[in-house]
Amino acid sequence: MKIRKCRREDLEDVCEIERMSFPYPYPKIIFYDYIEKLFFVAEEKEKIIGYIIADNERNLIVSIAVHPEYRNRGYGKKLMNHVLKFMKGKVFLQVRKSNKSAISFYHKMGFKEIKEIKKYYMNGEDAILMVKKIG
Ligand SMILES: CC(C)(COP(=O)(O)OP(=O)(O)OC[C@H]1O[C@@H](n2cnc3c(N)ncnc32)[C@H](O)[C@@H]1OP(=O)(O)O)[C@@H](O)C(=O)NCCC(=O)NCCS
């Protein structure tokens, strides 16, 4: 498995994983905006099987997803640990309150729940704000 920077030509595969992973997937245009940021893909035998995006100006994990067939094999953890090497201080993220598996994953990765943000998402769902202190 290799983790490398995401390139434009990877975006179709990233969007495919996005569509399989989220009820409200980000459109491709959103991913273009992040290509110059902390945007990494995990590659297994030349197939993209996961991605992570972070924004170190906002100290935020923007998104992470692993292809459904490759979950629970440590790829998410490797992607997260990789991106955190480029960040410092308090790193934040928001997650849908209903996304229990992601919340468990983030707890395992050392993130703590700080508060709920009511009706944060377009469909009216609440977000959980989480934080991890680096260094
Ligand atoms: C969240 C996600 C990225 C995790 O990736 P993954 O590759 O399956 O996670 P890993 O195999 O690296 O797991 C790392 C740790 O989290 C735990 N974990 C992962 N998924 C879990 C789940 N559904 N329930 C409980 N714990 C879980 C693992 O047991 C592991 O713990 P360990 O280090 O003690 O062994 C993946 O499930 C996913 O793509 N989900 C859909 C997209 C999503 O919800 N993204 C987050 C949006 S905010």
Convert 78-129 into a string of H (helix), E (strand) and C (coil): HHHHHHHCCCCEEEEEEEECCCHHHHHHHHHCCCEEEEEECCCCCCCCCEEE
First-to-last CA distance in the chain? Answer: 26
Percent of the chain as helix, strand, coil, to the nearest 5: 30, 35, 30
* pLDDT, tens only, 113-128: 999 999 999 999 999 9
| Residue of minimum CA distance from atom 5 in ligand 1 | 76
In this structure, the residue with its CA closest to atom 16 of ligand 1 is 105
Structure tokens at 123: 């469909």
Sorting pLDDT into bands at 50, 70 and 90, what band is 135? confident
- List of domains in the chain: 2-134 (3.40.630.30)
How close is the Cα of 53 to the center of ligand 1, in Å? Answer: 16
Looking from the CA of residue 65, the nearest atom of ligand 1 is 39
pLDDT in tens, 82-100: 999 999 999 999 999 999 9
pTM of the model: 0.97
- Determine the average pLDDT of the residues in 68-73: 97
Q: What percent of the chain has pLDDT over 90?
A: 99
